[in-house]
Structure 1
Amino acid sequence: MATDFKKSDLLPVPQPPEFHPEIVVTPAHDGLHFWQFMVAGSIAGSIEHMAMFPVDTIKTRMQVLGSCPMKSVSVRQAFGSILRIEGISGFYRGIGAMGLGAGPAHAVYFSAYEICKQSFSVGNPNNAVAHAAAGVCATVASDAVLTPMDMVKQRLQLSNSPYKGVMDCVKRAMKEEGFRAFYASYRTTVLMNAPFTAVHFSTYEAAKKGLNEISPENASDEKLIVHATAGAVAGALAAAVTTPLDVVKTQLQCQGVCGCDRFISGSISDVIRTIVKKDGYRGLIRGWMPRMLFHAPAAAICWSTYEAGKTFFQELNDD
């Protein structure tokens, strides 16, 4: 028998209170504070340059023309000559200048890169053009910080360098050549590092993405290897492409010291003509081997350290 129910006969069923779950949005791996990018970059850059400094000394000696004793284009001969004449300490002359410059310069470098990358990518993390453009902006800013100490470092690296140390070099260069001596190579450095950084960052991001796609299930476990490998590939390729401008930069920073040539105009074309006249076109690639030997492991060290620093700060922010 059917029973008719009226709406008024139904007892109201108590409803649970409205539940609005709190949505916690975890920031992306790159979503750090500005100062955290600076600290991670500063540590990474300092470790990179300190670890690879002996190779950088060999490169500087091989690139210098003029009457400086080091004329050989062989890495083995350059290494043997420094070790025999000056001992182990010869490989580390000028490391104090790099220690003073590398930290602040890389703090600016990586923080500028991250900010520009986020701005240029417009929500597309795989935008290679944005990575390259961000790298160029980063290097222009960081070179303004590093160039003076890089000049001091290279002058101290020369064989029979007339300077007693960092402060002696700074004082004498300021007194004898003026403030402009510290930025004589800035234009060349930017013109070198702009394509270097564009190739470096775009290659690094592409290599990192490709390596992660090979074994995505192990990406989190192997991220240190991925960062190091991608950094090494990017560093070696960028170093090979920009070696001629690095030779020009070395000439401008060391001009007039230890018998090295002095350039009246200081223009890139003037330096290139002098190099080609004295040493042929091979003079423009002097030091390419130690330069690649420097930048491949240096980039691997730098990127893996930088990414580890970012991971540390990300976990700290999450906690």
Structure 2
Amino acid sequence: MAAADASPEFRPEISVSPVVTHDGLQFWQYMVAGSIAGSIEHMAMFPVDTLKTRMQAITGLDPAHHVGARRALGSILKLEGPSGLYRGIAAMGLGAGPAHAVYFSVYEVCKEKFSGGNPNNPAAHAASGVCATMASDGVMTPMDVVKQRLQLKSSPYKGVWDCVKRVSKEEGVGALYASYRTTVVMNAPFTAVHFATYEAAKRGLTELSPGNAEDERAVVHAAAGAVSGAVAAAVTTPLDVVKTQLQCQGVCGCDKFCSSSIGDVIERVVKKEGYRGLIRGYVPRMLFHAPAAAICWSSYEASKSFFLSSSLNS
């Protein structure tokens, strides 16, 4: 009799677990949830991303290039006004939704296949994240190139389509993918650290309050996302500098490179500025990714919960 009573009490506890709650969703539901989360994240954090791009794009020996985030922000607001922080947001809007739809759906599918029945396998989370970023970067890289060129001070492009047409005509379509290899090399460790840290932080925070309610779970997702975003951003800043250099090369005073070799870019940055040049923009990058990841994961998990509750009620 005791065993029979224990089972009904145990099953509801399992049903509120963040891991099990979202199992069983269809592929398109993961895509929609990811698209919503990515769009909300990037639109909300776009001004910080603009600040980071400005700080990373221009290299040189002039000490004026080594400005902090506060001075860089003040300069943009003084010379261009608040609208200067939002140049290129249309390109981000076009790319973020589809890219994150691919990102999260591939992650969920791979996580299920790689986990081997163990939902708390950090290696599976890391490997799934790498697969997800390789797929999504193929979608996002061209729009990211356009976005960053539009973000530059005195950008010569009138808008998204003008930038796409001029880059394709003057530099070839390949220029839109010049940073793809660097992006994948950067995002692979970023995503591996990000997803593994997120799942571990979420599990640890959940265990602190095993009987957590819906509002508490939202806080857990946001906190775990912020921690994972900040850690991953700090680790991969040097590669992000390389990516920005390649995407903005030859525009508004940015260096032009003969190849898309990561080593060549690093060598030139270090030669001009020392190793300090490889961490330029790390403050706005962390300021971007911590809240961005909190927003993204909270939105994503909420969207999955909505789909799950809708399927249970139907």
TM-score of the pair, normalised by structure 2? 0.91
Q: Are the aligned partners of 2:182 and 2:262 in contact in 1 as well (CA < 8 Å)?
A: yes
1:220/1:179 CA distance change after superposition, 3 Å: same
Is residue 229 from structure 1 mapped to residue 206 from structure 2 by the alignment? Answer: no
1:16 paired residue number: none
The counterpart of 1:264, out of the listed 258, 277, 283, is 258
CA–CA separation in structure 1 for the residues paired with 2:110 and 2:213? 26
Once the two structures are TM-superposed, the CA of residue 136 in structure 1 deviates from its matched residue by 0.3
**Residues 43-95 of structure 1: per-residue CA shift (max 9 Å, x gap):** 0000000000000000000001247x982430000000000000010000000
C-alpha deviation, 1:220, in angstroms: 4.0
Instruction: Tell whether the 8 Å contact from 1:108 to 1:138 is kept in structure 2 after alignment.
Output: yes
Whether 2:121 is the aligned partner of 1:127: answer yes
Gaps of 5+ in 2: 1-14
1:73 touches 1:286 (CA, 8 Å); kept in 2? no
Shift of 1:277: 0.8
Partner in structure 1 of residue 30 of structure 2: 37
CA drift of 1:266 comes to 1.9
CA contact (8 A) 2:59 2:273 kept: no
SS of the residue aligned with 2:243?
helix
The answer to whether structure 1 residue 61 and structure 2 residue 87 are counterparts is no
Distance 1:30 1:85 in 2: 50
Per-residue CA deviations over 1:179-209 (Å, capped at 9, x if unaligned) read 1000000000000000000000000000000
> Superposition pairs for residues 162-173 of structure 1, below 5 Å?
162-173=156-167
The corresponding residue for 1:142 is 136
The runs of 5 or more residues in structure 1 that have no matched partner are 1-25
User: Displacement, 1:217?
Assistant: 1.6
Alpha-carbon separation, structure 2, partners of 1:65 and 1:152 = 17
Q: In the alignment, is the contact (CA less than 8 A) between 2:21 and 2:305 conserved in 1? A: no
1:78 to 72, 77, 83: 72
- Runs of 4+ more than 3 Å apart: none
Q: Aligned residue for 2:45?
A: 52
CA distance in structure 1 between the aligned counterparts of 2:176 and 2:212, rounded to whole angstroms: 47
1:275 paired residue among 248, 265, 269: 269
**TM-align CA RMSD:** 1.5
Equivalent in the alignment of 1:8: none
One-letter identity of the residue aligned with 1:41: G
Instruction: Please give the per-residue CA displacement for 1:217-275, whole angstroms capped at 9, x wherever unaligned.
Output: 22544000000000000000000000000000000000011111000022000000110
Contact 1:37 1:111 in 2 (8 A): yes
How many Å separate the matches in 2 of 1:75 and 1:87? Answer: 16
**Matched letter for residue 28 of structure 2:** W
Higher helix share: 2
Larger radius of gyration: 1
How many corresponding residue pairs?
294
What SS is found at the alignment partner of 1:137? helix
**Structure 2: how far apart are the matches of 1:199 and 1:153?**
25
C-alpha distance in 2, partners of 1:218/1:173? 51
Instruction: State how far apart, in whole Å, the 2-side matches of 1:66 and 1:101 are.
Output: 27
C-alpha distance in 1, partners of 2:158/2:49? 20
Aligned twin of 1:289? 283
Separation in 2, partners of 1:112, 1:274? 36
Q: Is the 8 A contact 1:139 1:197 kept in 2?
A: yes
**Equivalent residue for 2:149?**
155
Q: 2:246 aligns with which of 248, 252, 257?
A: 252
One-letter amino acid matched to 1:294: F
Matched residue type, 1:169: C
CA distance in 1, matches of 2:290, 2:151: 21
Among the aligned pairs, what percent are the same residue? 74
Equivalent residue number for residue 93 of structure 2: 99
8 Å Cα contact 1:212-1:219 kept in structure 2: no
CA offset digits 1:160-182 (Å, max 9, x no partner): 10001101100000000001000
Alignment of 1:162-201 (within 5 A): 162-201=156-195
Distance 1:30 1:140 in 2: 23
